Structure 1
Amino acid sequence: MNVKDNILVLDYGSQYTQLIARRVRELKVHSEILPWDAPVETILSRHPKGIILSGGPASATAPGAPTIDGRLLDGSVPVLGICYGMQLLAHVLGGKVRKGASAEYGASVVRVTAAGNPLLRGLPATFQAWMSHWDEVAAVPTGFSVHAESESGAPAAFSGRDGKVLALQFHPEVVHTEGGLDVLRNFLFDVCRCEESWNLSGWVDQMTSEIAAKVGGDRVVCGLSGGVDSTVAAVLTSRAVGDRLECIFVNNGLLRKDEARSVLDLYREKLKLKVHYVDASQTFLSRLEGVVEPERKRKIIGETFVRVFEAKAAEIGGAQWLLQGTLYPDVIESGFKGKGASVIKTHHNVGGLPDDIAFGLLEPLRDLFKDEVRAIGALMDVPGAILGRHPFPGPGLAVRCLGEVSPGRLDVLREADAIFAEEIVAAGLYDRMWQAFCVLLPVRTVGVMGDVRTYAEAVVLRAVHSQDGMTADWVRLSPELLDRVSRRICNEVEGVNRVVLDVTSKPPATIEWE
C-alpha cells in the first residue's frame, strides 16, 4: 500500500514478531515484516521511518547466529532492538553478551535507573514487563547508556548514538507489559517522528484494487468455512471480481452441530454469495481413519480440501485462483516468516497445501490479525453473526478430537461442544471471550452412573481471553457455570463420564490442543 510512514520489523524468529507489527498498526502507523537477512537495499527501498529488531531463539554470540548489517546502524534510521534484538545490538556494537545465571521468563519487574531514554518517558520508576530470555547483556557498547534493569540486575534498556539506537530486554508488544503500548508509542512518534496514517478503510479500497489487478479476468474459487476469515475474504474479493467468484462450502464431516445448515442459510440469504455445497464428509473421514498424529491430520485435511476444490472447480467451469482466509497467526505459527522461526503447528491453509496445487493462491488477509479482519468485515457490512463468531480451526473438530478421528467420537464431541456453547451464551459470556470449546481426550476413565461402573471418555473445557490469538489467558468461569456444564455433558452425552477444565495460558500452551 501507499502509506505515508512505514515501520519495518526484521524477523529473527520470535513468535511475537507479527505481534510487534500488529501493535504498531494499532497505533495507526503502517508496519511490515522482512526476514532478518533481507538485503539492505531491499530494506531501505521501503523507506522506513524506523526499524524494529524482533526477539528470537538464537544466541547472539553463537557461530552463524542471525545478525544485522552495520549500515543500518549509522543513525540515519532509528533502530529498536527487542529481547534478542537488544542482545544483537550489544554484540555487534562492541558490548558483551553472556548466558544469564538463570532464565527470565514471564512477568518480571523492571526498574528505571536513569533518565534520558525516550522509550521510557511516562512510565513509573518500577513496572511489570514480560521477559523471555536466557542470555543477557553483560556490558553495553562504548558510548551507550543503561536506563533500566531487570530483577536480576541485568540491563533492561539502553540507548546510544544520539538516541537513534535503542534496546529493550523486555517485550513491550505483549499485553502483560505495563505501559508496553506507551513504549512503542514513544518510539513511533517521539523517536521516529511518524504520523497516524494507517487506517483500515484505506486498506479495503487498496486491497480491492490489488485483487482486481492480480486476478484480471480469471475466475476465483473460495472455500467458505463459515468463519470470519474466509467470509471476509470472500466479501472483499466479490467486490473486486463480482460473479467470477465461485464459493464452495465443503462439509468435511468435521463441523460443529448443525453448522452446515446455518452457515449455508447465512451465505445465501444474507450475503447473497454464489455458494456450491459439497458433502465430502465420507472422503475426509476415510482418509483420517487410523491417523492420530496432529501434523498428519492437518496435512491430510489440507490436501483433501484442495482435491475437493479442484474437482468442484472443474465441474462448475474451472478457476485459476484459490482464495483463502490465511491470517498472520497462521503464517507465523507455520514458521513461514523469517529464518529461524519455529514451526508450532502447520495450518492447513499455509503449510498443509500440496506442492502440485492447480491454483494460484490468493490470500488478501495474510498480513492481518483477527481483530483487523473483524474491523474490515464491519466496514463491508458483514453480519455480526459471522464477525462475532469464535475462531474455529481450519481442520475443524479433527484437531479437537485427540487421537483417532471417527464418526462416533466426533458425534460425542459435537454434543458436548454444543452444550458448552449454549451455556456460555445463556450466561452472557460468549461475546466477552475470545474462544470457548470442548476437546475430546483419547483416554477413558472409570466412573459410576446409576450404581453401574462406567469406563468412558473425558471432555476438556477450554475458554480463553485474547486480543489477537498470539497470547491468551484462561477464563475464570464461575463454579456454578462449570457445574452446570459438567452435569449436562455427563447426563446428556452418551460416552462421557468426566469433564475437566484447561487452566493453561498461551504461552506455554497454544489455544488449540493440536
Structure 2
Amino acid sequence: MESIVKSKASCGGTPGGAGNLVLILDYGSQYTHLITRRIRLHRQADASRRRPLRRPPLRPRRRSTLRQEYGKMEIAVAEGERGLYGSEAIGGHQTVWMSHGDEAVKLPKGFSVVARSLQGSVAAIENHSRRIYGLQYHPEVTHSTQGMETLWHFLLDVCGITADWKMQGVLEEEIKVIKGVVGPDEHVICALSGGVDSTDVATLVHKVIGNRLHCVFVDNGPIKATCFLKRIMSTFQSNLHLPVTYIDASEQFLGKLKGIKDPEMKKKIIG
C-alpha cells in the first residue's frame, strides 16, 4: 500500500504519554517528508478539525483486468467501514490522488476492502480487529480533497494521539541529544555542502557547543560562479555566524572528470 502510518498508541501505548509517537517508515517514497510535515502541522495544539461533506454514494464496477491509475480519481467508501474513515465519510465518495502500477487482487486473511476506485480497484483495506489499515492513494497531498481528514481521524480517533506536537519540543530534544553525545571538552568537525540538511545540523550543533564546532566547506568545482560562492560563505559566516574553513579543491576534483561524459559516472568519481 502507498501510505502506512503506525502509532505506538495504536499498539497499546498511552495516548498523550510515552506512547504518543507517530512512526513513519521511509521506503524511498517521494512523499515521505510531506507525510511527516502534514502530520506535524495537524498535531499542533491549536489545530482545528474539519469535517468532510457527505455526498451521494457512488457504485464502483468490478473488473477482472489490472489497470494502472495515475492522477485524480474518485473512490467510494464502503457502507460497512468501521475504522479508517470517519462516520461522515462512510457511504460517500472522495477525490483522491493515485499513482500506482499495481493493485491488491487478493487480500490477507482478516482484511476487507473499505474503498474502491470507480474503475473497481482496491483503494483502501482494513483489519479492524488488529487495527491495521492500508491505502492505495496519497492522502497527504492537496489533490486528495479529504485526505487530511482521513489521516486526522486515524491519528486522533483510532490511535489516540493527542494534538500537542510543537517544533520547540523537537529542538529541545535534539539539544539534549547533542549534549549527551558531545563531551564538555570535545570538538566536532562538520562538512558543509551548502544544502539545507548540513546547514541545519551545523546551526543546531553550534548553538549547543559554540566555537568547539569546526565547519569545512569544500569547493569541488561545479560551483563556478564566484558571486554564488561568496553568497554561500557570507550566509555561513555573517548570517549564521558559523566558524567555516573554505577549501578550494576544484582542480583536484575537476581533473578527475576530464573526458567523462556520463553524469552518473561523474557522481561516483567526485562523490
Instruction: Tell me the TM-score normalised to structure 2 length.
Output: 0.72
| Offset, 1:218 | 3.0
Aligned to 1:251: 219
Q: Does 1:297 align with 2:238?
A: no
Q: Counterpart of 1:105 in 2: which secondary structure? A: strand
Identity %: 40
Of the three residues 1, 5, 8, the one matched with 2:23 is: 8
Q: Is the 8 A contact 1:109 1:150 kept in 2?
A: yes
| Offset, 1:247 | 1.6
Q: Is the 8 A contact 2:188 2:214 kept in 1?
A: yes
Q: Counterpart of 1:210 in 2: which secondary structure? A: helix
Aligned to 2:10: none
Q: Match for 1:26: what amino acid?
A: L
Q: Is the 8 A contact 2:83 2:128 kept in 1?
A: no
Q: Does 1:221 align with 2:189?
A: yes
TM alignment of 1:35-434, pairs within 5 A: 100-114=65-79, 116-121=81-86, 122-123=88-89, 125-138=92-105, 145-162=112-129, 164-216=131-183, 217-255=185-223, 257=225, 258-302=227-271
Q: What do residues 365-390 of structure 1 show as CA deviations (whole Å, max 9, x unaligned)?
A: xxxxxxxxxxxxxxxxxxxxxxxxxx
Aligned to 2:51: none
Aligned to 2:5: none
Q: Counterpart of 2:126 in 1: which secondary structure? A: strand
Q: Counterpart of 2:269 in 1: which secondary structure? A: helix
Q: Match for 1:106: what amino acid?
A: G
Relative to 1, partners in 2 of residues 1:284 and 1:260: Cα closer, same or farther, differing over 3 Å?
Answer: same
Relative to 1, partners in 2 of residues 1:112 and 1:4: Cα closer, same or farther, differing over 3 Å?
Answer: closer
| Offset, 1:146 | 3.6
Aligned to 2:42: 27
Q: Distance in 2 between matches of 1:222 and 1:133?
A: 40
Q: What do residues 459-508 of structure 1 show as CA deviations (whole Å, max 9, x unaligned)?
A: xxxxxxxxxxxxxxxxxxxxxxxxxxxxxxxxxxxxxxxxxxxxxxxxxx
Q: Distance in 2 between matches of 1:297 and 1:137?
A: 40
Q: Match for 2:264: what amino acid?
A: E
Q: Is the 8 A contact 1:222 1:247 kept in 2?
A: yes
Q: Is the 8 A contact 1:117 1:158 kept in 2?
A: no
Q: Is the 8 A contact 1:247 1:275 kept in 2?
A: yes
| Offset, 1:158 | 3.4
| Offset, 1:140 | 5.1
| Offset, 1:221 | 1.8
Relative to 1, partners in 2 of residues 1:100 and 1:187: Cα closer, same or farther, differing over 3 Å?
Answer: farther
Relative to 1, partners in 2 of residues 1:295 and 1:267: Cα closer, same or farther, differing over 3 Å?
Answer: same
Q: Counterpart of 2:154 in 1: which secondary structure? A: helix
Q: What do residues 318-363 of structure 1 show as CA deviations (whole Å, max 9, x unaligned)?
A: xxxxxxxxxxxxxxxxxxxxxxxxxxxxxxxxxxxxxxxxxxxxxx
After alignment, is 7-16 or 277-286 more displaced?
7-16
Q: Is the 8 A contact 2:35 2:140 kept in 1?
A: yes
Q: Match for 1:151: what amino acid?
A: L
Relative to 1, partners in 2 of residues 1:213 and 1:153: Cα closer, same or farther, differing over 3 Å?
Answer: same
Instruction: Tell me the TM-score normalised to structure 1 length.
Output: 0.40
| Offset, 1:143 | 6.3
Q: Is the 8 A contact 1:144 1:160 kept in 2?
A: yes
Q: Distance in 2 between matches of 1:10 and 1:226?
A: 27
Relative to 1, partners in 2 of residues 1:113 and 1:262: Cα closer, same or farther, differing over 3 Å?
Answer: same
| Offset, 1:5 | 0.7
Q: Distance in 2 between matches of 1:267 and 1:202?
A: 25
Q: Is the 8 A contact 1:106 1:130 kept in 2?
A: yes
- Structure 1, gaps ≥5 residues long: 30-97, 303-514
Q: Distance in 1 between matches of 2:230 and 2:188?
A: 24
Q: What do residues 408-433 of structure 1 show as CA deviations (whole Å, max 9, x unaligned)?
A: xxxxxxxxxxxxxxxxxxxxxxxxxx
Q: Is the 8 A contact 2:82 2:128 kept in 1?
A: no
Q: Distance in 2 between matches of 1:157 and 1:227?
A: 37
Q: Match for 1:8: what amino acid?
A: L
Q: Is the 8 A contact 1:218 1:244 kept in 2?
A: yes
Q: Is the 8 A contact 1:99 1:136 kept in 2?
A: no
| Offset, 1:186 | 0.8
